[in-house]
Amino acid sequence: MIHLPEHETASAMWRVFPRALKVPLDPREVEEFGAQFGTVSTRDGGRGAWPIAPSKVSGTFSETSGEARLHTDAQYHEQPESAFILACERPALDGGDNLLLEAADARRVAESCFGTDGIALLEAAQWCWTVPKVFYVNGNPQVSPEAPIFGRDGSVRWRIDNIRCRTAQDRDLAIEFADALESYGRLTRLRLEPGDVLLCDNYYALHGRTPFSDPKRLLYRVRLV
């Protein structure tokens, strides 16, 4: 869990630093900002500050426009990074706002939808996620080790569009869970302005974004160990 500086914050799992960096952003300064809160990770893509800008019709959330459904980052790794920052250079003109949900609230959603039996399935180490093509090693498709969606420590690991389910029943459960999360009435919605930085826990919060089509939207993400 990240340890946020002691300031007013709407959640212990994330914080926005308004106008913390000058624009246009310098990727090295974005990395330095992130390094205040953890060790900068470069394992996917070989760089710390990864541009989040629409450049492809299909690909990862960082390469395309459109919505990003609620997820945690690097869910396809055995050990995802524990936090990340998002630094905004240019917000989209037509959406692309950040959506956030604490893991504890996600668990409440699951409890109300599926009851004890459903929670037990989500806590079972039986879920896998396909590694995004852009991060394949030697061009080989890869799948994560089996892991639970809800950890015993209150953490969450989640993404719907690359999940690999063992059975059709598991898939139905996953789809219903994804829909229920996004119907939850208490999602936090944040719009980052130029120079703003969002720091977010990646174990105890889910994040996503609203749809957008503006090709000029540009943010940088740094994952932190």
Interface residue list for Fe ion (CB under 5 A): 73
Does residue 128 come out as left (phi exceeding 0), alpha (psi in the -120 to 50 range) or beta?
beta
Report in angstroms how near the CB of residue 73 gets to Fe ion at its nearest.
Answer: 4
Number of other residues whose CB lies within 10 A of the CB of residue 198? 21
Q: Give the nearer residue to Fe ion in terms of CB position, either 90 or 221.
A: 221
Number of other residues whose CB lies within 10 A of the CB of residue 114? 17
Q: Give the nearer residue to Fe ion in terms of CB position, either 1 or 113.
A: 1
Encoded amino acid at 59, one letter: G
For residue 57 the two structure tokens come to 């019709």
Q: Give the nearer residue to Fe ion in terms of CB position, either 80 or 121.
A: 80
Report in angstroms how near the CB of residue 167 gets to Fe ion at its nearest.
Answer: 27
Report in angstroms how near the CB of residue 201 gets to Fe ion at its nearest.
Answer: 12
Report in angstroms how near the CB of residue 74 gets to Fe ion at its nearest.
Answer: 9
Using an 8 Å Cβ cutoff, are 173 and 121 in contact?
A: yes
SS3 of 182, please? helix
Using CA atoms, how far residue 54 sits from 67, 114, 170, 207, 212, in Å, is: 12, 36, 32, 18, 10
Report in angstroms how near the CB of residue 85 gets to Fe ion at its nearest.
Answer: 11
Name the strand (E) or helix (H) holding 103.
Answer: helix 103-123
Using CA atoms, how far residue 68 sits from 101, 136, 191, 209, in Å, is: 13, 21, 14, 5
Report in angstroms how near the CB of residue 151 gets to Fe ion at its nearest.
Answer: 18
Q: Give the nearer residue to Fe ion in terms of CB position, either 73 or 105.
A: 73
Report in angstroms how near the CB of residue 14 gets to Fe ion at its nearest.
Answer: 13
Q: Give the nearer residue to Fe ion in terms of CB position, either 121 or 224.
A: 224
Using an 8 Å Cβ cutoff, are 219 and 89 in contact?
A: yes
Q: Which residue is nearest to Fe ion (CB)?
A: 73
Q: Give the nearer residue to Fe ion in terms of CB position, either 121 or 207.
A: 207
Q: Give the nearer residue to Fe ion in terms of CB position, either 73 or 196.
A: 73
* Angle, vertex CA 200, rays to CA 192 and CA 106, nearest 5: 105
